[in-house]
Amino acid sequence: MDLAAAIARLAAELALADEPSGFVVALEHDPDARDAREHVD
Amino acid sequence: MSTLTDWTIAKLSRAIAAREVSPVEVTRACLARIERLDPALRSFITVDTEGALAAARELEAELAAGLSRGPFHGIPLAYKDLCHVRGLPTSCGTKTREYFASDPECTAVSRLREAGAVTLGKLNMTELALGPFGDNAHHGDAQNPWKRGHAAGGSSSGSAAAVAAGFAVGALGSDTGGSIRLPAACCGVVGLKPTYGRVSRAGVMPLSWSLDHLGPITRTVTDAALLLGVIAGHDPLDATSSWRGVPYYERVLETPIDGLRVGLVENYYFDGLDAEMAAAVRAATSVVAGLGADVSPVKVPDPQPLVDVCNVIARSEAAAIHARLLRERPHELQPVVRARLEVGLHISAHDYLQALRLRARYAREFIARAFAVVDVLVAPVIPEPAPALAVVKAGTPDEVVQRMGRFSRLTRPFNGLGLPALALPCGFSGDGRPLALQIVGRPFDEATTLRLGHAYEQAAGWVSRRPALA
């Protein structure tokens, strides 16, 4: 299956510390976005 | 003076507040236009004539008593038929009239009703939101108001077609791989996929909870800003909704864009792009440069691995959510929808979890690299103007699925990244089909995205065009 092969290849890049929750962390803690929001609040 | 059904939310709002137009008057105008023209466009699945008029009368009585709920008081809206609206069926584009039931109601719809909006009805969509063209064997193919026989785009096909056609002043759509932006681009209207977590999905049929977003489809960027301001913000009914404060988006729209760093994405996004579309997007960046923005070409991390990762996530989650329909009544599904769902049954838990980990890694890398030197990104939304329905539906299910992937390849990465992405018109093809660009911002920075979109919209002037309907 193509999708499985693609994931297997890409997953070789992952580090032990990579967790799914890192996605929300990346969004919520982008410092520049926080600055932009404070600018317009 | 244009007819009421051509007006924007902002213009209607001022007229209603000044008692120059009544909620009943504008609701009647929309309903009459739907009755006259929608049989050919197929943008609605359910029209709630009685409910809409009753709500409009109540809102009119409130105004007569000196009470106003604010900018949405008496504004007629309609909702994609995967938003659960109290008292109305929710088919989700399937053959089953009431496929999705939720307790409670869709939070975004509740907030808009509390703000004074009138619900006209529920809008057509691709079956289970699985497809970018807006064809639907059960409820009829939504037609493009600019060119009959061409795709309205999907999956929020009815939302974009209804707003473009002047049936509703604004609408809600959902976006898992481009389903707000693709139809907005095809129909020449504005569509905003907010940041993941910015708008509650409570009361909305899930397709892929990791990638689903709810957002506005409107005629102008100002209207999108107004609508987002009502529906954004934390909702205790959706644990993924963010606690971040909601800015007054409409207040920043007139802030000049001089000095804003705009990156025109040169890699991936122009590969194989229709020539008219490419020229229009590049011309749009010249317009914003003329307004003082600092426009430069940029290269972003290759989105293709992220697209592969999102395919695994979306198909796994969709198959889990709709497993019962898939197992018990697969014959009710359109062959292409069934084919797309069935793939998810065969993805292992291992691959699904690796995909979620990869998605997190790509999001961190993309945000850090792409926004290191620019404030917003500009790219095309669709690879070509709205294609003919007969062409996109032709062939085997595998061929159609491949075609779907190509049509949504420019929007899908931003679902994986969770970034705010705005689609808006940037011209017309030689034969009159809308062209569109996509403006993408940092996480939760819808304000800058809308600000650039508004500045371009005002300078370019495409917003005044309306499709000629019989």
Q: Which of B167, B162, B176, B244 is nearest to B211 (CA)?
A: B176
pLDDT for residue B1:
45
Q: With bands split at pLDDT 50, 70 and 90, how would you rate the model's confidence at A36?
A: low
Measured between beta carbons, which residues in chain A are less than 8 angstroms from residue B233? Answer: none
Helix (H) or strand (E) holding B427: strand B421-428
Interface test with A, best of B358, B376, B448 (most A CBs within 10 A): B358
Q: Are B387 and B326 in contact (CB under 8 A)?
A: no
pLDDT for residue A3:
82
Q: d(Cα B392, Cα B399) in Å, to the nearest integer?
A: 9
- In tens, the pLDDT along B270-327 reads 999 999 999 999 999 999 999 999 999 999 999 999 999 999 999 999 999 999 999 9
Phi then psi dihedrals of residue B247, to 5 deg = -70, 165
Q: Which two tokens stand for residue B359?
A: 């998605």
pLDDT for residue A35:
57
- In tens, the pLDDT along B195-205 reads 999 999 999 99
**What is the SS3 string spanning B123-140?**
ECCCHHHCCCCCCCCCCC
Contacts (Cβ under 8 Å, ≥6 apart) of A7 = B308, B309, B312, B351, B354, B355, B358
Phi then psi dihedrals of residue B45, to 5 deg = -100, -40
Q: Please indicate if any CB of chain B lies within 8 Å of the CB of A14.
A: yes
| pLDDT (mean) for B244-262 | 96
Q: Are B158 and B80 in contact (CB under 8 A)?
A: yes
Measured between beta carbons, which residues in chain A are less than 8 angstroms from residue B247? Answer: 37, 40-41
Q: Is the pLDDT of residue B356 over 50?
A: yes
CB spacing of A22 vs B361 below 8 angstroms: yes
**How many Cβ atoms sit within 10 Å of the Cβ of residue B403?**
20
DSSP class of residue B141 equals P
Residue B327 CB burial class (10 angstroms; 0-12, 13-18, ≥19)? exposed
Q: Please indicate if any CB of chain A lies within 8 Å of the CB of B420.
A: no
Q: Are B83 and B203 in contact (CB under 8 A)?
A: yes
| pLDDT (mean) for B79-103 | 95
Q: d(Cα B394, Cα B387) in Å, to the nearest integer?
A: 12
Farthest CA pair distance, chain A: 48
Question: Residue B150: helix, strand or coil by DSSP?
Answer: strand
Q: d(Cα B199, Cα B386) in Å, to the nearest integer?
A: 28
- In tens, the pLDDT along B357-403 reads 999 999 999 999 999 999 999 999 999 999 999 999 999 999 999 99
**Average per-residue pLDDT for chain B:** 97
User: Does this model's pTM top 0.90?
Assistant: yes
Q: Please indicate if any CB of chain B lies within 8 Å of the CB of A5.
A: no
Instruction: Give the residue numbers of B marked as catalytic.
Output: 80, 155, 179
Phi then psi dihedrals of residue B32, to 5 deg = -65, -40
| pLDDT (mean) for B336-348 | 95
Q: d(Cα B125, Cα B153) in Å, to the nearest integer?
A: 9
Q: Which residues pair with B434 in a beta bridge?
A: B428
Q: d(Cα B120, Cα B55) in Å, to the nearest integer?
A: 10
Q: Is the pLDDT of residue A1 over 80?
A: no
pLDDT for residue A29:
83
Residue % of chain B over a pLDDT of 90: 98
pLDDT for residue B300:
97
C-alpha B24, offset from chain centre: 27
Overall size of chain B counted in residues: 470
- In tens, the pLDDT along B8-38 reads 999 999 999 999 999 999 999 999 999 999 9
Q: Which two tokens stand for residue B440?
A: 């993408």
Q: Is the pLDDT of residue B43 over 90?
A: yes
What is the ipTM score, two decimals?
0.85
DSSP class of residue B199 equals B
Could you say which of A18, A24, A40 has the minimum Cβ distance to residue B361?
Answer: A18
CB spacing of A22 vs B252 below 8 angstroms: no
Q: d(Cα A23, Cα B416) in Å, to the nearest integer?
A: 9
Q: d(Cα B274, Cα B260) in Å, to the nearest integer?
A: 28
DSSP class of residue B95 equals S
Strands B434-441 and B143-144: unpaired
* Nearest residue of chain B to residue A32 (CA atoms): B442
Q: With bands split at pLDDT 50, 70 and 90, how would you rate the model's confidence at B225?
A: very high
Question: Residue B15: helix, strand or coil by DSSP?
Answer: helix
Q: What is the CA radius of gyration of chain B?
A: 20
DSSP class of residue B388 equals B
Measured between beta carbons, which residues in chain B are less than 8 angstroms from residue A16? Answer: none
Q: d(Cα B171, Cα B131) in Å, to the nearest integer?
A: 19
Q: Which two tokens stand for residue B121?
A: 């009805």
Residue scoring higher pLDDT (A1 or B66): B66
CA distances from B219 to B42, B212, B405, B429 (A): 19, 23, 27, 19
Q: Are B295 and B264 in contact (CB under 8 A)?
A: yes
Overall size of chain A counted in residues: 41
* Nearest residue of chain B to residue A24 (CA atoms): B360
pLDDT for residue A32:
67
Q: Please indicate if any CB of chain B lies within 8 Å of the CB of A35.
A: no
Q: d(Cα B82, Cα B90) in Å, to the nearest integer?
A: 6
Q: With bands split at pLDDT 50, 70 and 90, how would you rate the model's confidence at A2?
A: confident
Q: d(Cα B270, Cα B284) in Å, to the nearest integer?
A: 14
pLDDT for residue A28:
87
Question: Going edge to edge, which strands form the sheet with B190-193?
Answer: B44-47, B118-123, B76-80, B170-175, B213-218, B190-193, B421-428, B434-441, B376-380, B261-265, B294-298
pLDDT for residue A4:
86
Q: Which two tokens stand for residue B361?
A: 């890694």
Q: With bands split at pLDDT 50, 70 and 90, how would you rate the model's confidence at A41?
A: very low
Q: Which residues pair with B298 in a beta bridge?
A: B265
Instruction: Out of A4-13, A22-31, B140-149, B213-222, pick the least confident.
Output: A22-31
Q: With bands split at pLDDT 50, 70 and 90, how would you rate the model's confidence at B214?
A: very high
Residue scoring higher pLDDT (B362 or A33): B362
Contacts (Cβ under 8 Å, ≥6 apart) of B35 = B47
Q: Please indicate if any CB of chain A lies within 8 Å of the CB of B15.
A: no
Q: Which of A11, A27, A12, A7 is nearest to B311 (CA)?
A: A7
